[in-house]
Amino acid sequence: MLMAIKIILLLICVVIIHAHTSDNHYHIIIDAGSTGSRLYLFQYILQHHYPIINVISTTKNYGGLSNVGSNNAGISLKQLLDNAQAEILRRNLNNITIDVLGTAGMRLLSSTEQESIYNDIKSYIQEHYTFHIGRVMTISGEMEGIYGWLEINYLRHTLISNHKIVKGFYDKLDVELDVGSNDELYVGLNDELDVELPVGVVDVGGASVQITFANNVVPNMYFNNILNDHAYHNLSYVVNHTDSLITKSLLGKGLRSTRLSMNKHHLAHTCYPSNDTNSFDFDVCKSLYINILRDVKSLFSVGEQHFIVIGAAYTTYHFFDILDGNDRQHVQQHIKHICNEWKIDDHMIKKVYPYTSEIDYCADAVYFDTLLYDVFGMQFDNISIINSINGRDVNWVTGALFYEIASGNM
């Protein structure tokens, strides 16, 4: 059944009760995903109770941490760690804390297997680097969903309210960051600018899917006052004392894991481009995916909220050039046309990124159509599929840092 994660949306503007400071802080988070890991070096400041977070650098590798074994876990992150160390030395920084956060791939392992992998990582970092070791752990799917929701709405400025912004609030964020022009994401908003309601977020990974959205009662109940300093003191308190954010993590229902399940069916060929003996069949393929996802379909209703879809969806929709489709039927017809005309024998398969080849896109397009519309029951006009906001790549990691700062853990 659904898990109600307890959080009030209103307070995010005022949630951070730290000393006023313009000092730069730095933090590293490694997102250890099911198909690869990505390291983020963050810079953040605290100004007027609000975190200003920027990404200084990112590095990624391929191959999930859960697949490398406990003896090779630490060294598998060497490229990421070396690059981060070089950047830190270049900037003459010290006392930098690093978190390594595993997601769905690690959740599939036993607690003993996870502990062995994380112990190897901690030992490797201690032996070869000067980082302070922070959290090295597997995060729950629910927290991954909350982090993603926080990140998207933080970058969209929808962690505030749909009412008028207090005059001059953002103009007071007169900070200087050394990372280029990204600070414009957070400053310079006009006085009395109307801000939209927070959006729901669907994050599709290789092994799991997270869906997180505000309870329908929230806009009426909580979006009345801005910068209400006495509301709550920190985000942790909110997580434990209110019922306004709904999140669900679907382990084993991610893009790659669901495709692998589908491939076991004798009609799996209907999900792939035509060849001499078989033809792509959108409807038959959809029926296979509906069967796999049938236990998810009755879990909840998302209503008419607007959703941002992040993760693997953007790559698939971009491939078919359907990010700006007119309606669902038009998108489906376009997928059918491409996949029926696309002959495997005429196609030189190339890797777009590891674990996915171009011929998988037909199956993946059907998966997303099924998941978003048939399973989650979303409306076509209420979905935006993106991979960035104002030029900044999106996932959940900035949200994780925001949460830790807001919870008083930094």
Residue range 333-373, pLDDT digits in tens: 999 988 888 765 434 333 333 344 778 999 999 999 999 99
Q: Which residue has the tokens 């200084």?
A: 56
pLDDT for residue 48: 60
List, in sequence order, every residue forming a beta bridge with 40; answer none if it has no partner. Answer: 29, 58
- Decide if pLDDT at 227 tops 80: no
Question: Nearest CA to 359 among 316, 312, 311?
Answer: 316
pLDDT for residue 326: 82
Residue range 118-171, pLDDT digits in tens: 999 999 999 999 999 999 999 999 899 989 998 998 898 877 543 333 323 333
pLDDT for residue 21: 40
Distances from the Cα of 255 to the Cα of 8, 185, 316, angstroms: 31, 31, 11
> Which residues, other chains included, contact 42 with Cβ-Cβ below 8 Å and sequence gap of 6+?
26, 27, 28, 29, 53, 54, 55, 56, 398, 401
Residue range 294-321, pLDDT digits in tens: 888 766 667 778 999 999 999 999 988 8
Q: How sure is the predictor about 69, in pLDDT bands with cuts at 50, 70 and 90?
A: confident
Domains in the chain, start-ordered, CATH in brackets?
Answer: 9-195+391-406 (3.30.420.40), 246-388 (no CATH)
Give dist(CA 214, CA 380) in Å, integer. 19
Average pLDDT over residues 190-199: 54
pLDDT for residue 372: 94
DSSP 294-362: HHHHTS---TT--EEEEETHHHHHHHHT-TT-SSHHHHHHHHHHHHHH-BGGG----EEETTEETTHHH
